[in-house]
A and B are shown apart, each in its own frame.
Chain A
Amino acid sequence: MSDHVREKVSNWELIKNGIIKENTIFRLVISLCPAIAVTNAVKNGFFLGIAVLFVQTMVNTTVALIRDFIHPKIRIPIFMLIISGWVTVVDMVIAAIAPDVYKQIGLYIQIIVAFASILARAEMFASKHGPVNSFFDGLGSGLGFLVALVIISFFRELLGRGALWGFPIVDAKPMLIFILPAGGFLAVGLLMGFFNWIDMKFYGGKGAGGAG
């Protein structure tokens, strides 16, 4: 985390930072495995995004609350314990309220434990800031992940199945490649390039702009 966050920043800035400037997928380019694996349908992408949003926010807050008691040498195992605790909560809740989605993305919800993005925020932000700031940073970062996943899965489901949220929209032969892993890489790469292009064209490449 660079110095600009250490200064007094409003919570709104923190959220915007997470969604745009330090977007997990399109800017930091981490946690790409789930971004490619589950984004073949908007529903899957949305639920995984929600799960990550919740875990990220709660982990950030918890870490910030107990940051003074964590010995620096064993901080990573403790972060992992906190993360896995919250992931278990999300895992059980989604299995209870949306069993059909859970069947498809259950595995990926469990490996939220190992997502680089969550540990990165806990290590780089929450262990150095207060609980309120950390809460909003987690909210922003999680929202950024959610938005990125929904954007990717929107294009992939539309092109690959001709449908959105499971409902058929276009009555043409779908482009099967977009729901396969190869299409996932293509979609992420092209979208990333598109957002970088917007950033360069309209905001001078300072990372200040670019949607999602």
Chain B
Amino acid sequence: MVAKKKEHELIVSVSPHVKSDVTTSGIMWTVNIALLPAFIFSVYFFGPRALIVTSLCIVTALLSEWGFQKFTDKDTTITDGSAVLTGLLLGLNLPATVPFYIPVIGTISAIVITKQLFGGLGYNIFNPALIGRAFVLITWPRAMTTWMKPDAAFTSFDAVSAATPLGILKEEGLAKLLVEFGDKVNLYTELFLGHRAGSLGETSVLALLIGACYLLYKRYITWHIPLSFIGTVAVIAWIFGGEGWFNGDPLIHILSGGLILGAFFMATDYVTAPSVRKGQIVFGVGCGLITMLIRLKGGYPEGVMFAILLMNCFTPMIDRNMRSSVFGARKQVKEEAK
């Protein structure tokens, strides 16, 4: 024993020698905690169905990750929090009224096809939760775009269906939206608090911002992707969103839909977003452009999901081409070129 210990002490390892105690699973669980306010608000707004849908997603995520890793003789990693995070994010991205097989199948496609078949955590090209949502949205478009009013939740399971603010904006225009919500100030307040139809976790901007601030404070995410994403959406909404040019209302576009949820919690995914700061800004701007293209010109009222997925494809390219140069290296290259 003693000899062994001595040997151990003499091992010379390569740098880095100073390690921080931040681990992948620590980050994952922190993000889970940061999503808790949004989850609590969703249960408050949409009632027990929200709880059931989200728990179904989480349980299926854990089971399918465990099952696949058992099946392929890999170490099970269900305690690292990433499967829980995928399940939770997917759950918060579904409408409250979905039939219960949708969360299950969506989660299986997220965990098994998008994450495990590509090699597990760290190797997936696309954000698993978003692929899961895209899969069920394309598969059952009717069920996935039937939204319910937040109020009726506690009294009965029979929900009152309603259109999302973005849906109304797309189909019937701003005037109808103002009729629905009263005046503009009231509209902004309702959107900010989350008192509107939509996916479970995307409605309450307040709850999402609480979680996002916690992540920013812990420095697990930086401002680059969310700010450039939301900023681009705001600018485009201002220029092209209204009647004529430079007449749009950026606040409506920022506060409605899944923009806040997507920008802070899904576009910032470590695995599928660029890791270079400059590249993160390019990534955010790209997400914003595609989002607004779909919202204003596309067939769907909401485009955050497809925008992030499309930009995920570009992540390797962005990372390769925007690598920051080593200090002094550029000068050397220039001199060699001479």
Q: Is A173 an interface residue (CB 8 A)?
A: yes
Q: Is the interface of A mostly helix, strand, loop or mixed?
A: helix
Taking a contact as CB atoms under 8 Å apart, the answer to whether B138 and A173 are in contact is: no
* Chain A residue, CB-CB nearest to B109: A186
A159 to B140, CA, bound (A): 12
Taking a contact as CB atoms under 8 Å apart, the answer to whether A176 and B139 are in contact is: yes
CB interface residues, A 137-179, toward B, < 8 Å: 173, 175-178
Chain B interfacial residues counted at CB < 8 A: 9
* Chain B residue, CB-CB nearest to A160: B139
Taking a contact as CB atoms under 8 Å apart, the answer to whether B139 and A177 are in contact is: yes
Taking a contact as CB atoms under 8 Å apart, the answer to whether B138 and A180 are in contact is: yes
> Which bucket holds chain A's interface residue count?
10 to 19
Q: Is B313 an interface residue (CB 8 A)?
A: no
Q: Is B220 an interface residue (CB 8 A)?
A: no
B138-178 interface bits toward A, Cβ cutoff 8 Å, 1 = contact, 0 = none: 11110100000000000000000000000000000000000
Taking a contact as CB atoms under 8 Å apart, the answer to whether A177 and B117 are in contact is: no
A184-199 interface bits toward B, Cβ cutoff 8 Å, 1 = contact, 0 = none: 0010001001000000
Q: Is A97 an interface residue (CB 8 A)?
A: no
Q: Is B135 an interface residue (CB 8 A)?
A: yes
What residues of chain A lie closer than 8 Å to B141, measured between beta carbons? 176
* Chain B residue, CB-CB nearest to A173: B140
Taking a contact as CB atoms under 8 Å apart, the answer to whether A182 and B140 are in contact is: no
Taking a contact as CB atoms under 8 Å apart, the answer to whether B139 and A193 are in contact is: no
What residues of chain A lie closer than 8 Å to B293, measured between beta carbons? none
Give the distance to chain B from A205, nearest Cβ to Cβ, in Å.
Answer: 15
Q: Is B271 an interface residue (CB 8 A)?
A: no
Give the distance to chain A from B234, nearest Cβ to Cβ, in Å.
Answer: 31
Taking a contact as CB atoms under 8 Å apart, the answer to whether A176 and B117 are in contact is: no
Taking a contact as CB atoms under 8 Å apart, the answer to whether B139 and A175 are in contact is: yes
Taking a contact as CB atoms under 8 Å apart, the answer to whether A177 and B113 are in contact is: no
Taking a contact as CB atoms under 8 Å apart, the answer to whether B140 and A186 are in contact is: no
Taking a contact as CB atoms under 8 Å apart, the answer to whether A176 and B140 are in contact is: yes
CB interface residues, B 97-134, toward A, < 8 Å: 105, 113, 117
Taking a contact as CB atoms under 8 Å apart, the answer to whether B139 and A186 are in contact is: no
A180 to B105, CA, bound (A): 18
Taking a contact as CB atoms under 8 Å apart, the answer to whether B113 and A186 are in contact is: yes
Which of B105, B113, B139, B140 is most buried by chain A, counting CB atoms within 10 A of its CB? Answer: B139
Taking a contact as CB atoms under 8 Å apart, the answer to whether B135 and A193 are in contact is: no
What residues of chain A lie closer than 8 Å to B140, measured between beta carbons? 173, 175-176
CB interface residues, B 170-196, toward A, < 8 Å: none
Give the distance to chain A from B257, nearest Cβ to Cβ, in Å.
Answer: 22
Q: B residues engaging A (CB < 8 A)?
A: 105, 113, 117, 135, 138-141, 143
Q: What would be 18 A-B contacts, judged by CB atoms less than 8 Å apart?
A: A173-B140, A173-B143, A175-B105, A175-B139, A175-B140, A176-B138, A176-B139, A176-B140, A176-B141, A177-B135, A177-B138, A177-B139, A178-B139, A180-B138, A182-B138, A186-B113, A190-B113, A193-B117
Top 8 nearest A-B pairs (CB, nearest first) are: A177-B139, A177-B138, A175-B139, A176-B139, A177-B135, A173-B140, A176-B138, A180-B138
- Given contacts A176-B139, A176-B140, A177-B139, 9 further A-B pairs with CB under 8 A are A173-B140, A175-B105, A175-B139, A175-B140, A176-B138, A177-B138, A178-B139, A190-B113, A193-B117
